[in-house]
């Protein structure tokens, strides 16, 4: 059966059926004295039809539904807002959890791709100085059901116009690898044929560099992509930007990227945020090229998205960005891309997910995990 966070996602400790894998759900219904095909019926309602009310599952007997209500439920995030960017290339979703906390997800539209950017935690404990979510502190982990429900609700909006989510990135609020068990469970649920059907090759997990989680993920049979948020070329600067570097150094991350490739056969993407006067100098480009040399990796450059908050960081000029790319590409053979944020006008761009709504700051609760 799933871990406690999947089960106790509502007062009363009823089992959240949305968070159970097929084998777990079969075991659950059989323990209730039902035939195992009932599990398939339940998942068809939950993932295929998007139904959260047991009363609406009309091919289940009334007696079975009433028995289910005593010990189980189907969670559903409350959608408070869906806001579209001026260009139509990004939609920001605001969801409320049963406890009143709020999280954000983003739909990114690019060509034929429809990418759902999902949150894994309420807030984040890692306190990266350039990220709005880090300013919230850590509140709590999301259950597997709450992670996958973001995808289901984003996909539902797309279905209304005849489209579907094609890709998933775990790049929303929180550090996914500090919510490891629920992350892995959610990824497995995303691949269900009865549901979203998003296979591992279309899912990318982004981490600030939590090394134990990276190594553990490399040993999972998930076939997913991995992105590591690097953002500096020296440990001294990275420690100032990202406190996690005090424990897990750049050299450790490069070694982990090599190991991930050897075990999973997939190149790691290094994400690098360009901040004017901080990480965008010529020597930074040269050093980044040197770090990537010989590594089976890709580099994704992200011009800093200003937060509208009090911050010393600024977006580099287009001229400086072009110069950085020119130097980098001249000195490395790895693929280099520039991520053009599509949701800046609705605060849905990389690093901008942040909620001024009183989510409590409990950094100490997560510090022990790092």
Decide if 82 is catalytic. Answer: no
Domain that holds residue 201: 78-367
Please give the pLDDT value at position 358: 44
> Tell me: the pLDDT tens digits for 222-248?
999 999 999 999 999 999 999 999 999
> DSSP string spanning 151-212?
HHHHHHHHHTTT----EEEE-SSS-GGGGHHHHHHHHHHHT-TTTT---GGGEEEEES--HH
> Tell me: the pLDDT tens digits for 233-288?
999 999 999 999 999 999 999 999 999 999 999 999 999 999 999 999 999 999 99
Please give the pLDDT value at position 248: 98
Decide if 350 is catalytic. Answer: yes
Classified as helix, coil or strand, 114 is strand
> Tell me: the pLDDT tens digits for 25-67?
999 999 999 999 999 999 999 999 999 999 999 999 999 999 9
> Tell me: the pLDDT tens digits for 129-175?
988 887 788 999 999 999 999 999 999 999 999 999 999 999 999 99
Please give the pLDDT value at position 341: 66
Q: Which of 76, 101, 104, 271 is catalytic?
A: 104
Q: How many CA atoms lie within 13 A of 127 on its CB side?
A: 15
Last residue of a domain, one of 73, 107, 131: 73
Separation between Cα atoms, residue 189 and residue 75, nearest integer Å: 14
Q: Which of 117, 124, 131, 350 is catalytic?
A: 350
pLDDT, average across residues 207-221: 98
Same domain for 180 and 318, yes or no, is yes
CATH number at residue 189: 3.20.20.70
Last residue of a domain, one of 20, 45, 73: 73
By percentage, how much of the chain surpasses pLDDT 70?
88
Q: pLDDT band for position 104 (50/70/90)?
A: very high
pLDDT, average across residues 186-203: 94
* Total domain count, the chain: 2
CATH number at residue 24: 1.10.150.530
pLDDT higher for 346 or 66?
Answer: 66
Last residue of a domain, one of 73, 107, 124: 73
Please give the pLDDT value at position 363: 39
Same domain for 85 and 64, yes or no, is no
């Amino acid at each position: 059966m799933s871990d406690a966070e999947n089960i106790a996602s509502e007062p009363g400790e009823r089992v959240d059926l949305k968070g159970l894998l097929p084998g777990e759900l079969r075991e659950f219904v059989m323990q209730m004295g039902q035939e195992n095909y009932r599990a398939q019926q339940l998942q068809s309602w939950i993932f295929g039809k998007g139904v959260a009310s047991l009363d609406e599952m009309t091919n289940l007997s009334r007696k079975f539904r009433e028995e289910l209500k005593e010990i189980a439920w189907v969670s559903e995030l409350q959608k408070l807002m869906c806001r579209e960017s001026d260009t139509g290339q990004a939609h920001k979703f605001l969801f409320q959890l049963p406890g009143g906390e709020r999280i954000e997800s983003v739909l990114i539209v690019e060509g034929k791709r429809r990418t759902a950017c999902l949150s894994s935690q309420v807030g984040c404990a890692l306190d990266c100085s350039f990220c709005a979510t880090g300013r919230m502190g850590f509140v709590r982990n999301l259950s597997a059901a709450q992670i996958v429900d973001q995808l289901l609700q984003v996909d539902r909006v797309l279905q209304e116009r005849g489209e579907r989510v094609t890709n998933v990135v775990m790049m929303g609020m929180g550090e996914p690898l500090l919510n490891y068990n629920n992350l892995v469970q959610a990824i497995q649920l995303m691949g269900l044929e009865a549901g979203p059907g998003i296979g591992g090759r279309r899912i990318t997990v982004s981490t600030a560099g939590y090394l134990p989680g990276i190594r553990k993920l490399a040993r999972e049979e998930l076939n997913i992509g991995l992105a590591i948020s690097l953002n500096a070329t020296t440990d001294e600067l990275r420690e100032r930007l990202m406190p996690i570097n005090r424990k897990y150094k750049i050299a450790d991350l490069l070694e982990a990227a090599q190991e991930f490739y050897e075990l999973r056969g997939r190149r790691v993407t290094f994400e690098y945020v360009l901040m004017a006067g901080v990480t965008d100098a010529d020597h930074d480009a040269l050093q980044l090229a040197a770090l990537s040399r010989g590594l089976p990796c890709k580099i994704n450059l992200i011009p800093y998205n200003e937060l509208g908050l009090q911050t010393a960081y600024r977006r580099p000029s287009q001229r400086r960005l072009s110069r950085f790319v020119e130097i980098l590409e001249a000195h490395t053979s790895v693929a280099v891309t520039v991520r053009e944020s599509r949701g800046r006008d609705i605060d849905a761009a990389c690093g901008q997910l942040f909620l001024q709504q009183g989510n409590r700051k409990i950094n100490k609760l997560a510090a022990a995990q790092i």
